[in-house]
Amino acid sequence: AVVSTQSTGASEVPDKNELKRTPDDSEEISKRCKTESPDQAIKTELSETDIKPSGIVTVESLENDKNDVKSEDNGSAEVKEDAPAEERFVYPTKKKYAIMMGFCGDGYRGMALNVGVNTIEEELITALLKCKFIKPENARELGKMYFQRASRTDKGVSAARQVVSTNLNLGPKANLKTCVKQLNKALPDNIIVYDIIKATKHFDSHKFASSRIYEYNCPSFAMAPTLGDTWSGYRMTPEVLQNVRDFLMNFVGTKNYYNYTSGKSAKDPSCFRYIRSITVSDPIVVENIEYIRIFLHGDSFIYHQIRKIVGMTITHMRNVAPPDHLEKSFLTERCDVPLAPGLGLVLDEVKMSRYNKKFGKDGCHVPLVWEPYEEQVQEFKMKHILSVIHRKEQAESVMFQWLETLKKHKFYTGDVLPSILTGESEGMDAKAAESSISGSEESSTVTESSASLENSTSSAI
């Protein structure tokens, strides 16, 4: 501010009262603040004091700051032209989303992220980073993203319908269908994202998952009552199929699965699990190998539970365990229950009934259901999951090799053993059976294999 001097030309210190507003000025400004908008009041106050020294925010700078805030609020990504290349991208505010996805677990050490190990989540997070859907610092600390999977899968286990909840930096104007295409382009072919859906702020896919359906694809010869029938040409009779279905009914309801898991104490309440239903498909033949598909629907499953249920069923059907072995397996004393191969296990579906009931019809959120993607799911499942299971079974005889290990289990005490454990069975011996599986000349294309599996899906569940 320029201070005037007296007419004598002498430079004097101005009176302090000259730099102060008079009471009348304060009253006038107060009246205007009541009648004018905040922006108008700011302009009036600055213009009346006429003070714009260096370091004081001007009206123009205030308006620019206000515009900057608006540009951040709209959620669209910005680019800082003057910043270094790695700092130019500005991420929108993160919001909670549900990622509807599927994957083939072959070649992965499970789904959960594990540093230094090839996992499904590592592939997903890498793709999200590549698409700039998450910040690099959040990728290193998943807790900041509130990242959660609906159901954990073990080494080699696939999933046809899995749900992941996480915060993503997409912004309110993002086209989610375009985001899905970008993400699938960044992912390998054996992992697919069906959709990205805006969810509630506190959505947790694990907590809101009401139930899960697992599928186990088992070569029918594993259920053969004699060793001589353990070969790829075996065909399950209706009587044997019914016996399998009847035996699996023993697992429906609430049971103590202490002997069907590991790392738990006998008194741990988490060993009690509830299975809603178990269904077994009619046998299907793929490239001369017959399969049955076992579907288990439960609220949740404990570690190794499904594979040990299948293992117990096989020991019963092949008569390699005492008749009371099943009953003892539900008690708190340690009991030997074989762990079936993980190759045939698939997380078929995660149901979000609890979330859909609470938020699916509120008019603001989309229900998390699988019907809109059913065609995609079946196509991916046939091409990248079931066909891989069959090819690996055919090439490596996974189930047959596992059946050989049943002789090492201690189902019986004493010297009396069933003939199937001693190898003294009528019919084809073990070497001949293995040769039959690995050397079968009757084969067709993988496309024909997928078609056969697809035709059986509708009647399997």
Catalytic positions? 154
Tell me the three-class secondary structure of 166-197, residue by residue. EEECCCCCCCHHHHHHHHHHHCCCCEEEEEEE
CB atoms within 10 A of CB 242: 11
Question: If you search the block for the tokens 């059907």, which residue do you land on?
Answer: 317
Residue 178: which of 192, 190, 196, 162 has the closest Cα?
A: 196
Q: Are 313 and 406 in contact (CB under 8 A)?
A: no
Chain length of the chain: 461
Residue corresponding to tokens 């059986």: 456
Give 116's contacts (C-beta < 8 A, 6+ positions apart): none
Q: Alpha-carbon dihedral of residues 148, 150, 154, 155, nearest 10 degrees?
A: -70
> Using CA atoms, how far apart are residues 461 and 458, in angstroms rounded to an integer?
7
Question: DSSP letters along 106-128, please?
Answer: TTSS-SS--TTS--HHHHHHHHH
Distance CA 381, CA 256 (A): 32
Q: Tell me the CA end-to-end span of the chain in Å, nearest whole number.
A: 85
Structure tokens at 375: 């065609």
- β-strands 211-219, 289-298 pairing: antiparallel
Distance in angstroms (rounded) separating the CA atoms of residues 92 and 133: 9
Contact 264, 431 (CB under 8 A): no
